[in-house]
Amino acid sequence: MARSVIPSWDLPALPVSGTDALFPVRRIHCVGRNYAEHAREMGGDPDREPPFFFNKPADAIVPNGGDIPYPPQTQKLAYEMELVVAIGKGGVNVPRESALEHVFGYAVGLDLTRRDLQAAAKEKGRPWEPGKAFDKSAPVSRIRPAAEIGHPRSGRIWLEVNGEVRQDGNLSQMIWPVPDIIAYLSQLYALQPGDLIYTGTPAGVGFIQRGDELRGAVDDVERISVRIV
């Protein structure tokens, strides 16, 4: 085996609930504006248009309970609480009817966003990566296997900032439910085991500062807690 010309790095991975096993993370796909009220608050159209996606690097994950340094070059760091799907079986052009067969499990995560950089990119028609794909921008909980909890179609999704509820929605409010997301995404990318899909956020997004503590959950799935430092 050829040696690396630079030091290698640890494979990003998440703990699996109830075990000492790890789920290696390959790619992070994120769905934009998948709740109608959030689409409205962001100035978008809540009608059921085809979903759109953006990506974050796998090493942007932050384990549950971690500290997150306030990122550089922004004055508007935003939170977005989301259900996260962990893909365990790859596929291309996956039929909606069999999409859930590709799911290993579920977690909850935060899509942290440098909103001012994202807004500037939108205005100039430029890529979103500086606003979305920065270091430590994807805090995520441990994974609960679907074999244990099934496939949640409804359930409260909520986020508190310093004990104050900021987001409070239900998975049933998704414009594109999980099977639709998987089916559509697999037309764009060859899904592989280890992929994570952030499924969109409900209304109530806002900004956070250094010292803020974020705590949220999808009921009957998982909880997450992080601090901005």
| 155 torsion bin: left (phi>0), alpha (psi -120 to 50), beta (else) | left
Q: How many CA atoms lie within 13 A of 62 on its CB side?
A: 21
Q: Which runs of E-coded beta strand occur in 115-171? A: 138-140, 144-145, 156-161, 164-170
In the chain, the number of structural domains is: 1
Question: What pLDDT is stored for residue 2 in this prediction?
Answer: 82
Compute the distance between CA of residue 139 and CA of residue 104 in angstroms, rounded to an integer.
Answer: 19
Which residues are CB-neighbours of 186 under 8 A, at least 6 positions away? 91, 92, 93, 94, 99
Residue 8 domain flag? no
Instruction: Look at residue 38 and tell me whether its pLDDT is greater than 60.
Output: no
Are the CB atoms for 102 and 88 separated by under 8 Å?
Answer: yes
Residue 176 has pLDDT above 60, yes or no: yes
Percent pLDDT > 90 in the chain is: 88
Q: What is the pTM of this model?
A: 0.95
Residue 94: Cβ within 10 Å count: 22
pLDDT tens digits along 115-159? 999 999 999 999 999 999 999 999 999 999 999 999 999 999 999
pLDDT for 11 beyond 70: yes
Residue 48: the pLDDT is: 63
Q: Is 54 among the domain residues?
A: yes
| Separation CA 79–CA 137 (nearest Å) | 10
1 lies in some domain = no
Asked whether residue 11 is assigned to any structural domain, the reply reads no
Residue 183 counted as domain residue: yes
Structural domain span for residue 53: 17-228
Phi, psi of 142 (to 5 degrees): -65, 165
SS3 content of the chain, % helix, strand, coil (to 5): 20, 35, 40
Determine the average pLDDT of the residues in 85-107: 98
What CATH number does residue 84 fall under?
A: 3.90.850.10
Lowest-confidence pick of 17-26, 36-45, 81-90, 164-173: 36-45
